[in-house]
Structure 1
């Protein structure tokens, strides 16, 4: 049952009584109940169902996945949840169940993405070939090449690969949704700027959203240093932009005079309208 301490004593208003010799040295599950249903009765019903059907339960995850990540089969997961021998069994079962749910969710998202694109999954050979991109310069657009020539350093292999993949995605008809993951200072912002240039060259606008004004200002300063010299028209918009400057900025956005606007959530307030917004980057 449910117990709590009050004035140094344990109190409870809802509990069941079981013989100690029946439950000694056992770990018993505690289920949520409805009115009129007792824990002991529900345990017996579940045990009866387990005895009858546990042999028919198949694992949804492939065997190589189970072995690689040291996961329990679906049968063992159910046993560890309802009739555990140790608390370690419970932890392993819970971990395996969470993994399976996340795996199924990601598979569904991946399949839906492939269906939208009308593409089949890559074979291992095709995947290896794609990941072995030696250079990105020959595949860049005109503005991207200008930025690349202005850099005082060479792009990393990972940056080249991701820029190429994003550039290819931006040439497709279906919308792109990507997550760029990397350590601080690994060059994610530069990859984002290369992506911006592809859209801008196609005549679209880009909005770069940062969670704080400080970070938005940093991105705006970086954009001014790297993109303004190659002719990109920039703007900075937060809730603190004064009314006069804000009115001019909003008019320029609607007229298409601004290529890239950097700011906070003010970028998507009701008063902000775009001429042709095609790419949103969220940091």
Structure 2
């Protein structure tokens, strides 16, 4: 029996419609779901502790006689109960109480309590402990196992969850609920993990001597067994998606190479070895009769756009259209200008499709895409809105893909589907993903890496300075601009508010203009109208502005070779990937370039670490590795990389050591036990697979 065949949770005693609805909030529909709903932590209630031995902060079970119970009236009404056991006394304090509770705590009653001992007004106290009356003549047994504390939801108490898991575990041991282990014994033996039933039972009811620190760190073999199985299932599901997409048909794009040759001949620089290698991998993929799914990772400024242009030209040579999609208007626009500049001499018109187009211009572009006269379109998510129809879309290029929701990418792929054939997909990112993470998160993609910077790019020297030395930084900007160079001054804010960020940038620009009256200062922020933003950027690019004050809107896509100095204010507020992206705006020419990270002290430990990494390395992959260490995979991949990687037990950062083994085991399962692979996917991933089809 598997999760999908498991009895519904309503089969358990005491689960009516209301409780079932609350369990549903936790994703619990079946008895199996309940067994995989694991505790967050544990409490030790396996022994009664003498009150006299308690220290502040101890969580413990105590038992004693009620010496006094009274209602105290102050700012708020409270019930106080003093209990003693011969070794010492302790106060129980309740802010919410009933008449029944008051009776249970009548003087002379014997009670057993569990809670945290805290310093009170008179000795130690427990606030709102769990308690029950016990009979002196018939001793009450203590718990036989550590007590689990489960993730819960409003209206669902811990005792209720414990009661339900106890029922489910009983079914498991009676053989009424066979929890089938889908990992073949041969595979399990080599890994040294416990069986599934042993692992699940142990985690719901650990013995009194269980190592609490190992369990708290989620490093116990029983936890690792389940984390491994979940990672394996996700890896398998992505491999299966890849196999499915290989079965889809795509138009083989056999271009004659003429446009590409003319394009390369007109470039003012030769391609690097890495660009040539990745370009050849893409060209080979595009000639296949099934959709290419290739991720190109390349550091800031490594020349991914040129490689994308080559791919687009191959589609045009083969008689098809190509669409280039970027997450922000600024980045999409940068791509549009690059493509238009490169392809106009080849007689290819590039269409620009963004949300703010006037009706007439939009209508003309849509007409060109629908009748096929427009071969290449560049835009934001406006590319897949209703009313946009392509004549014969052969290639979709998605830049900085982790910023798009999975549904947006699905929509663009579906748009290109015609006659049962899907377009090829080229996905690009300047946020390098560490290899172990890519193996799991992108197991459905072929990965290429452009690991070489074009000649002429100069390394950027990075310095970290407190904002108390702001005057010295302003003087440095002045001397660089007087020497004919240009500079960026980036303002960052904690709040993600464009209005506040724009205000901060305006204030900074005014202060700098007063301090540097002989410099031409420009300002760009997210609140500016698109045409104003373009005009300022064009003036900066053409050298009519010396110093550009900006918010982080310039993070991606702006290329000004003469800019050799970048100041980032409050740098401690930004993540490593964003700092690296911003720094990539300088060092694009042959002049020695500098990046000044100005921080407001005192720095947190993580802030200090981040800035130290930026000072020590310019290697995007090393920075990504540190970013993963400091911030975790959700941030590195984009919060919701796919609807697929929503892990219940595993954690990509904590369980990195299991990723390579999960990948190896996935290969083995698909070769030797494909049936088991399908069952594992069904148990752990279920219907989420659809999300990965991008």
TM-fit CA distance, 1:60: 5.5
* Alpha carbons of structure 1 residues 234 and 97: separation in structure 2 relative to 1, 3 Å: same
**Matches for 1:137-176 after TM superposition, within 5 Å:** 141-151=257-267, 152-157=269-274, 159-176=275-292
RMSD: 4.2
How many residue pairs are counted as aligned between the two chains?
Answer: 249
Aligned twin of 2:143:
22
Indicate yes or no: 2:225 matched with 1:99.
no
Contact 1:141 1:198 in 2 (8 A): yes
The structure with the largest strand share of the pair is 2
Contact 2:351 2:376 in 1 (8 A): yes
TM-fit CA distance, 1:16: 9.6
- Distance, in Å, in 1 between the alignment partners of 2:97 and 2:193 is 37
Indicate yes or no: 2:59 matched with 1:59.
no
Cα deviation digits, residues 153-187 of structure 1 (max 9, x gap): 32333x33332232222222223333333333333
Q: Choose the corresponding residue for 1:186, options 299, 302, 322.
A: 302
SS in 2 for 1:110: helix
Cα deviation digits, residues 134-164 of structure 1 (max 9, x gap): xxxxx9822222333333032333x333322
Aligned twin of 1:88:
214
Q: Choose the corresponding residue for 1:39, options 157, 162, 175.
A: 162
- Normalising by structure 1, we get a TM-score of 0.68
TM-fit CA distance, 1:43: 2.3
- Distance, in Å, in 2 between the alignment partners of 1:257 and 1:55 is 59
- Distance, in Å, in 1 between the alignment partners of 2:389 and 2:179 is 60
Return 5+ residue gaps in structure 1 as ranges.
1-5, 118-138
Contact 2:370 2:391 in 1 (8 A): yes
Greater Cα radius of gyration, structure 1 or 2: 2
**Matches for 1:1-283 after TM superposition, within 5 Å:** 9=94, 21-23=142-144, 26-28=146-148, 30=150, 39-40=162-163, 42-43=165-166, 45-46=168-169, 49=172, 57=181, 59=183, 63=187, 72=193, 75=196, 77-78=199-200, 81-84=203-206, 85=210, 86=212, 88-89=214-215, 91-92=218-219, 93=223, 95-116=227-248, 141-151=257-267, 152-157=269-274, 159-283=275-399
Range with greater deviation from structure 2 (177-186 or 205-214) = 177-186
Cα deviation digits, residues 185-233 of structure 1 (max 9, x gap): 3333222211101100011111111222111111111112322233322
- Normalising by structure 2, we get a TM-score of 0.31
TM-fit CA distance, 1:79: 5.1
The structure with the largest helix share of the pair is 1
